[in-house]
Amino acid sequence: MPWRSKDGLFLNAELVKQGAARRYKVAPNVKYDAKFVELDTGLQNSTMGPVGMSLSVLAMARELAALKEERVLLLPSQDRRSQHITTVLKPGPGATIRIGVVGIGVGRVTVKVCDSGEVEISSKDLALTALAPTPHVELLLAMPRPKVMMRLWSVLAQLGLRRIVLTNAWRVEKSYFSSQSTEQRKYLPELLEGLEQAVCTTLPEVQIEMRLKPFIEDQVDLLFPSDRFLRLFCHPGHGMRIADAVAAARKGSSNPPKAVVLAVGPEGGWVDYEVGLFRQHGFIQVSLGRRILTTDVAIVSLASLTLDALFASEQGPPATTWKTGADLLSRLLPCCS
């Protein structure tokens, strides 16, 4: 049994507690299973969740209402969530999974796979815990090619963006806006899948603007007021580092902006007129260097740097997390390192 000799620390339990390992029941070694269940469940319901563990099911508010009223929610066999539970999770009798409800929080429910392929979710008294808020970042994005946009929806949700505004630009083909990638029935499932992956319940707002100039002139101050938002636009070449822009906006200010809006242009960048338009309306130029990046690479880089800068300025450095069980084990048992 893996106990640390100097103080009797139960190493298996500590690995689960720190999120570096998951409970896995294998008979006949079940003596401490109840302890592992307690630790694993508590960690999954915390604001961070275990390392690498996504939501098993993300439900809409109407489904939560049905679950509370009937105590049972039946997912059709063709539902993507049912297929994931059936083919990936493969729950046994009495198994519980983590569920999230859009706009509310996360909790645990009992799940049963029916012979028909349907999945029965039940809970006598479902308690949902709100997740800790993430830094507030919104995106103004020049519409990319439709195939790229379909790939991006899940990514944007995983990044935790609060609002996504798709706009036209000089280097954007107007026909892109007629594609299925801008239809809610197509992009909503992608957003929900991204939220499940990231263990998030905040669904991004989506807005489509066909004309950039009227949007900047008439709506920017309403959607992104300067007393709440730091306005940034990304363009290849010279520009501030995002961390420097965030730090400069907060330095010496009694009421620093609490959120950031990022304007990201086409792969070739904004044209000079668009650059001037952004500057006239209080946007600060930031850059990732002189390289011309694809839209998906640029967005992930920019959003990640912005979220990190906001997190560092608001809450200080994040608590230590362990990449693998081996990392934590080497700390607990120096002889293993």
Residue 7, pLDDT > 90, answer: no
Q: What is the mean pLDDT of residues 206-235?
A: 96
Q: What is the mean pLDDT of residues 215-225?
A: 97
Query: Is residue 42 in some structural domain?
Result: yes
Query: Is residue 325 in some structural domain?
Result: no
pLDDT in the model for residue 47: 33
Same domain, 168 and 311: yes
Q: Which residue has the tokens 């319940």?
A: 201
Same domain, 183 and 298: yes
Q: Are 225 and 258 in contact (CB under 8 A)?
A: no
Same domain, 108 and 163: no
Element at 333 (helix H, strand E): none
Amino acid of residue 311:
F
pLDDT in the model for residue 19: 59
Q: Are 286 and 246 in contact (CB under 8 A)?
A: no
Question: What does pTM read for this prediction?
Answer: 0.76
Amino acid of residue 155:
V
Same domain, 120 and 71: yes
CA torsion sign, 211 to 214 to 219 to 224?
positive
- The pLDDT > 90 percentage for the chain reads 56
Q: What is the CATH number of the domain that holds 278?
A: 3.40.1280.10
Residue 332, pLDDT > 70, answer: no
- The pLDDT > 70 percentage for the chain reads 82
Domain span including residue 21: 1-51
pLDDT in the model for residue 13: 73
Calculate the CA 63 to chain-centre distance: 21
Same domain, 246 and 303: yes
Query: Is residue 90 in some structural domain?
Result: yes
Q: What's the domain count of the chain?
A: 3
Amino acid of residue 249:
A
Same domain, 8 and 99: no
Same domain, 205 and 301: yes
Distance CA 233, CA 243 (A): 14
Same domain, 236 and 302: yes
Same domain, 153 and 301: yes
Query: Is residue 331 in some structural domain?
Result: no
Q: Cα 70–75–79 angle (5° rounding)?
A: 160
Query: Is residue 47 in some structural domain?
Result: yes
Amino acid of residue 156:
L
Q: What is the CATH number of the domain that holds 105?
A: 2.40.240.20
Of the three residues 79, 101, 130, the one that is the final residue of a domain is: 130
Q: Which residue has the tokens 């608590």?
A: 319
Same domain, 198 and 211: yes
Query: Is residue 162 in some structural domain?
Result: yes
Q: What is the mean pLDDT of residues 84-97?
A: 88
pLDDT in the model for residue 45: 42
Main-chain phi, psi angles of 106, to 5 degrees: -125, 155
Same domain, 146 and 206: yes
